[in-house]
Amino acid sequence: MTSVPRLSVTSDDITTLAVDAIVNAANSSLQGGGGVDGAIHRAGGPAILSACRAIVAAQGPCRPGDAVVTDAGELPAGLVIHTVGPVWNPGDDEAMKATLASCYRRSLQLGMEHGVRSIAFPNISTGVYRFPKPLAAAVTLDAVIEWLESTPEHRYTDILFACFDDENRNLYETLLVESP
């Protein structure tokens, strides 16, 4: 029987976390950018960008809701899982929620395939992509818990949500207290 991983929240900088994998809220070109994506590329050094360029050259841009894996370069994490979240489009809520949920499920699946036991997620799509933070937090936790329950073979021990602001941290902390 697989043990239930610890789900926790931190305000720590995701680039400083010594976990098996961190997740990058990337753009489809995987070339770095602003926010957490830029921070991960800067802190990880040129090896991450080089690996991302090779992936895009081999398979084209990463589609929203999908993910790819690279080494972590100079980061304390072992791997970086790059996922592309949706840009919020009011009126297309169900598609936006499905794409965001896919980011988390796909990242967890790739992590499992690479032997990851501890993983840290940023708040995907809630920065410049403008996904409403309360909705994103609910979608995220539902997707993660659903994936864990439907994938008993996983080996995760720790799943960390690295929140970049107080609003996200408070949302995650509240929802985690309320979840079973």
For the annotated catalytic residues, the residue numbers are 37
Q: What is the DSSP letter of 89?
A: -
Report residue 115 as tokens.
């032997």
Polymer length in residues for the chain: 180
DSSP codes, 136-179: HHHHHHHHHHHHHHH-TT----EEEEE-SSHHHHHHHHHHHHH-
Question: Can you tell me whether residue 75 is helix, strand or coil?
Answer: coil
